Amino acid sequence: MNIEILFQKLFYDEPQNIDYYLESVFGLLHDEASKRGIEFEGYFITKWTDSANTIINFDEEYFSNLDRRNLYVYKASASDPEIFTLLQKAYKIAKLRVPQINDIHREIFEHGEKGVKF
């Protein structure tokens, strides 16, 4: 199914729950970016593969951290025009203020200030 159709379905199924919508959108964008092989400091693909190969040391908390996931999506948006466009479309579907590239860079900076890293 087309990712934009999934965005629409998510929003129209529960339009009052914007937090759930955005969390789901970021999950879908994370998956899309990882399918494209986008990686920063070994996150996501390299570290996932390494952890999967040594299941004893698999750090589920590392991969389920929402701040880390969101940072990945923001960085992917800053480096891949298609991911950026998808993020903008997701916000537009929900009638939210559509982020511009300076907003993305601010989010990346703020996540860094909070200590979020890969």
Instruction: Kindly report, residue by residue over 51-107, the tens digit of the pLDDT.
Output: 666 655 545 666 678 999 999 999 999 999 999 999 999 999 999 999 999 999 999
Length of the chain: 118
Please report which confidence band the pLDDT of residue 117 belongs to, taking 50, 70 and 90 as the band edges.
confident
Model pLDDT, residue 63: 63
Per-residue pLDDT of 4-48, as tens digits, reads 999 999 999 989 999 999 999 999 999 999 899 887 776 666 665
Res. 115: pLDDT tops 80: yes
Model pLDDT, residue 28: 96
Q: Any residues with CB less than 8 A from the CB of 52 and at least 6 apart, and which?
A: 58
Model pLDDT, residue 112: 93
User: What are the domain boundaries of the chain?
Assistant: 3-113
Model pLDDT, residue 47: 61
Q: How far apart are CA 24 and CA 47, in angstroms?
A: 22
Model pLDDT, residue 30: 93
Q: How far apart are CA 84 and CA 81, in angstroms?
A: 5
